Structure 1
Amino acid sequence: MLPYHRLTPGSLTGLACGEGDPDTLTLLLAAERSRRLLLLRMLDDATELGPGWDLLSEAQRRAPAVVDELLTHPQTGMWLATALRRLRGTAARDEPPLWVVLGHFSALAAVAGLRAEIDFTIQVPVRHGRVVLPALGCAVVPAAEPWTTATVRVEAGNAVVETAGATVAVPPTPGSAGPGWHPLRRLTVGPARQRLEVALDDVDPYRTYPQPTEPRPLSEEAAGRWRQVLERAWDVLRQEQPGTAEAMRRGVLSLTPTPARERFRPRSVTSGDAFGGIEASDPDDAVQLAVTLVHEFQHTKLGGLLHLTPLLADDSDGRTELWYAPWRDDPRPLEGLLQGIYAFVGITRFWRTHRRSTGAHTTMADFEFALWRTHLSRAIEQVHRHPRLTPLGGVLLDTLRDHCARWLEEPVPGEQLALARLCADDHVARWRAHHLRPPAQAVDEAVHAWLAGASAPPASLAAEPGVVPDPAARWLDSLAMLVRHGIAATDDDRPAPEEAEKAAARVTGALAGDALLALGDPAAAHHAYVTDLTTDRARPGAWSGLGQALTATAEAPEAARLLRHRPEQARAVHESLWHTTGAPPDPVRLATWLAGRQGPPGAIR
């Protein structure tokens, strides 16, 4: 019998804590190699892979380490998963033909053959004038058609890519450029015994997740910036989280750069099919990139663990539960929430360490630590002891919960703590306003009661609301973004409350009231939110902001309490009254009336 991949008790303990040493990553990577061999066999059973199969087999006999390295390359895993899904499904309009996807195997085999010093000739796909050789680079050739083929020829170690209109020589030294050839750059940062080596992949179509994209080679200037910021980010991780950094040396293999995003809103992605691969937008600074690496490395580790053992039992009743995820705009299934919890344990731990480091901007670090520990605690408490958790899943969540409980006891300066609580409370209230819906009959009864002059809303309105995902929910973190801008601002560029519109313009999705709240003027924020709610129905986030503003000014405490805990009721009844009467009711008066017969807030789902 073939042996099983097994994690040691020490490895399981480390992963359950959200950590994991280099030996654990070595075990996970070995399991990924086996998984990809199985997927490759599945692909071969499902279709004819052609001469590439014989070439790869010969390369494995001559240089098994070469083939192992190619198999564990993150983009190989992504290609395998994409090819198998294409065989089982249908292609989108903008996807390449199936033969192009399957032909990528021939390009993979060509690289293996070249590195194993085999002479061969093989046909490979051309994608919009680019011939990709995985983990090596890509050739640029003239092409009249978006999808065609080229010939890769290797003789005595010399490789060329040939088409009817051009011949491109592949430089013998990996990483070297040449006429018509873009190499896959490899970045090496850190001192000799703490060195991180990653591919800076801008050419492989399977470097982006979840959909492939065509090669977009970086300029030398852009690649140089990435090298510099990665060097500084790696210094932060080496000095502040040496255990995590050491494990990353085994588990972070590829970095795919994408264009910069809005400040404080980077985009990063990993895929369970691409172990070790990280897609990340151009960061604001080195600390942001360090956080991104920690974040996505957490996903990498959990994805590797999930390939070996489940943390959740199958959903036997087929009903997908949706939950509040403080780091997302949309409701998440339990599987997605668990991924997020694991990732943000790493982020919270990073900020906990960073705020104690010499020279750190401690005001920002204190705020981030306080914010994420609060978000994390709320996410865990929703699903702690969920019946779908397997024994290992239960241990993992219990362990992370214990860590979070200890973090919640750590002191944080009062100003940063208050801002973190404000942003955490605002996010959950905005989420509720968007995604929770009271029973329709209860809303109708409340409208009739209001119009009839009743002293309190009907008892039916206190029923548990349902989760109805709102596709318009975006940028629910706008208040936190404005707070970050305020913390990072100097005296010269910090806007005054009368410049709220200017401050809000910095953050996509922010309202004027949000900016006023972040600038410390809740009274003005109150009026701005009321204006929004009586002129524009499409601003559910204003209900949450109004609740925060009322709390800060100690006005209408009943309305403030309802809007902090049950804003979905105010939104639903307000919109129905507006539709029924043709005019919006006063938001504060309505919220005060709705608070007249309310118990404690329901669970977040």
Structure 2
Amino acid sequence: MSLAGPHAAALVELARTRAEPGSASLLHSALHARRLLLLKALLVRVQRHREAIDAAVFRRFGAAWQLLERAERRRPDVVRDLLDYPTTGGWLAAALAEPVGPGLDRHLARLDVLAATAALRSGCPVRLTVEVPDGLLVLPGVGRLSTGSSRVRISSGSRTGRLRPELPGPAGPEVLLRTDPATGALTGHGPGWSGLHVLSGSTARLDDMDPYRVPAGGIGLPPRDAEDHGVTDRAAWSARWDSGLDLLHRTDPARAGEVRRAVRAIVPLVARGPGSFGATMSAAPGAVLTSLPSGAEDMAETLVHELHHSKLATLHELVPLYGAGRTAVHRVGWRADPRPISGVMHGTYAHLALTDLWRRAAVAEGAPAGWRTRAGQQFDRIHDQVGEALAILLESDELTTEGRKFAHQMRRHHASLEAAPGATG
């Protein structure tokens, strides 16, 4: 695919790492189109292998699909928001990669919960019972019900819903859910219910509940596990988010605004030793996976760095920037291990965004003096490394035509930054 016209202009905007309406719109559309494509691919796979899928699972999947369609007809904006939520992408990636068998059956059961959440948020009447073998019912992007039952009944009208565990004897305690008719936001109250914490000034969730927030086996090397809801220090995470966004706002208001709009979830990871660790999943753009940053500067840099991995992953799905299956590796200044061309592209883009941020921070009158000094030092160190990595990209035969155009635009932006005036003074 080749980008032309307005889309070509958006490609230039994206290469500059700046927050522009045209590029944001392109990425939003690309993400949603990708989700619909993967959802359809899962439906086709289920239909193709229906004889190998548990009959009850197959029936529930079909009923859930119909419920999702009814909710979409009622509130397409709400269903789009749910489908585009990061953990929906994590689920689709896991389900499409799982061999046919009991593992796939377990993944398919997720559509029950996804459709029920869509119905609850859209005010679409629903009556169904979902299986929760581990006793945890997670409504993606909303919250979690912890129950001693393996089955939960879900019912709703236009503005209220109810979750009732099926327990031996009398009916179990009920959780009441209320839907905001304007936004489709869902809140709950009752025994065993925990809502996701919404980070201030945004719609981003501190997602420490969803089973698809981190791939099975963890993320990174060595693998990092997701922090469990029971041990998450929400006050500490909220403070880091607030201080990081405040620092970004004083340094670069446009970039702070982009973070508030584009980050959908912060996923806490278990800390391993000193220093924080950040990551993204290409299947789940908009989620920043990180151990607790040490302070405002660390948080600000993590948000900018990981957001640009998400942006590039979404763009690459829309228009491939590099080829697949090549074995060549390259040395870059910010990593000790050699990287494939995909890693060079991602690292260059994320560090170009940081270089842009540090240049602005070095001269930002509203930024703390210590941040200005550190930013100038970081700029001096990383700017040259980004230039060397750009040379690798532009000399490589592994980039597509669009990838080469993108790298040329990155080089133009890199050259425009030059030396940060007063960076180290």
Please report the TM-score for the alignment, with normalisation by the length of structure 2: 0.83
> How many angstroms apart in 2 are the aligned matches of 1:159 and 1:287?
42
- Deviation string, structure 1 residues 183-216 (Cα, Å, up to 9, x no partner): 1121222xxxxxx331111111112257577882
Alignment partner, residue 355 of structure 2 = 348
Q: Residues 285, 127 of structure 1: CA spacing in aligned structure 2 closer, same or farther, 3 A cutoff? A: farther
Alignment partner, residue 155 of structure 2 = 153
More deviation, 63-72/15-24:
15-24
> How many angstroms apart in 1 are the aligned matches of 2:308 and 2:289?
14
Query: Conserved in 2, the CA contact under 8 Å of 1:261 and 1:282?
Result: no
Paired letter, 1:365: A
More deviation, 403-412/21-30:
403-412
Gap regions ≥5 residues in structure 1: 91-95, 190-195, 417-605
Is 1:278 the counterpart of 2:292 in the alignment?
A: no
- Deviation string, structure 1 residues 139-165 (Cα, Å, up to 9, x no partner): 11126xxxx544333356331142335
Query: Conserved in 2, the CA contact under 8 Å of 1:17 and 1:399?
Result: yes
Gap regions ≥5 residues in structure 2: 47-57, 180-185, 219-224
Is 1:180 the counterpart of 2:192 in the alignment?
A: yes
Q: Residues 378, 53 of structure 1: CA spacing in aligned structure 2 closer, same or farther, 3 A cutoff? A: same
Alignment of 1:492-531 (within 5 A): none
Residue 103 of structure 1, CA deviation? 0.6
Alignment of 1:361-376 (within 5 A): 361=370, 362-376=372-386
Is 1:85 the counterpart of 2:94 in the alignment?
A: no
Residue 342 of structure 1, CA deviation? 0.6
- Deviation string, structure 1 residues 70-118 (Cα, Å, up to 9, x no partner): 1111111111111111147x9xxxxx93322111111000111112223
2:331 aligned to which of 315, 324, 336 = 324
Alignment partner, residue 98 of structure 1 = 104
- Deviation string, structure 1 residues 321-372 (Cα, Å, up to 9, x no partner): 0111333343211112111111111112222222223323144223222221
> How many angstroms apart in 2 are the aligned matches of 1:132 and 1:375?
43
Residue 407 of structure 1, CA deviation? 4.4
Aligned residues: 391
Residue 241 of structure 1, CA deviation? 1.6
1:53 aligned to which of 57, 62, 65 = 65
Paired letter, 2:108: L
Query: Conserved in 1, the CA contact under 8 Å of 2:376 and 2:420?
Result: no
Is 1:72 the counterpart of 2:84 in the alignment?
A: yes
Instruction: Tell me how large the CA RMSD over aligned residues is.
Output: 2.8
Indicate the SS of the match to 1:158: strand
Paired letter, 2:141: A
> How many angstroms apart in 2 are the aligned matches of 1:226 and 1:128?
27
Alignment partner, residue 385 of structure 1 = 395
Identity %: 31
Q: Residues 5, 61 of structure 1: CA spacing in aligned structure 2 closer, same or farther, 3 A cutoff? A: farther
Please report the TM-score for the alignment, with normalisation by the length of structure 1: 0.60
Indicate the SS of the match to 1:372: helix
Indicate the SS of the match to 2:395: coil
> How many angstroms apart in 2 are the aligned matches of 1:325 and 1:142?
51
Paired letter, 1:255: I
Q: For the pair shown, which has the larger CA radius of gyration, 1 or 2?
A: 1
Query: Conserved in 2, the CA contact under 8 Å of 1:385 and 1:394?
Result: no
- Deviation string, structure 1 residues 489-518 (Cα, Å, up to 9, x no partner): xxxxxxxxxxxxxxxxxxxxxxxxxxxxxx
Indicate the SS of the match to 1:41: helix
Alignment partner, residue 313 of structure 2 = 303
Paired letter, 2:153: T
- Deviation string, structure 1 residues 243-271 (Cα, Å, up to 9, x no partner): 222333432111112244544x3211112
Query: Conserved in 2, the CA contact under 8 Å of 1:59 and 1:116?
Result: yes
Query: Conserved in 2, the CA contact under 8 Å of 1:270 and 1:299?
Result: yes
Query: Conserved in 1, the CA contact under 8 Å of 2:227 and 2:270?
Result: no
Query: Conserved in 2, the CA contact under 8 Å of 1:256 and 1:279?
Result: yes
> How many angstroms apart in 2 are the aligned matches of 1:73 and 1:269?
17
Higher relative contact order by CA 8 Å / sep ≥ 6: 1 or 2?
2
Paired letter, 2:303: L
Paired letter, 1:328: R
Alignment partner, residue 302 of structure 2 = 292
1:232 aligned to which of 238, 243, 246 = 243
Query: Conserved in 1, the CA contact under 8 Å of 2:214 and 2:226?
Result: no
Q: Residues 282, 127 of structure 1: CA spacing in aligned structure 2 closer, same or farther, 3 A cutoff? A: farther
Is 1:111 the counterpart of 2:117 in the alignment?
A: yes
- Deviation string, structure 1 residues 169-195 (Cα, Å, up to 9, x no partner): 144263455320011121222xxxxxx
Paired letter, 2:386: L
Alignment of 1:201-240 (within 5 A): 201-209=207-215, 216-217=228-229, 222-240=233-251
Residue 228 of structure 1, CA deviation? 2.0
Residue 409 of structure 1, CA deviation? 4.2
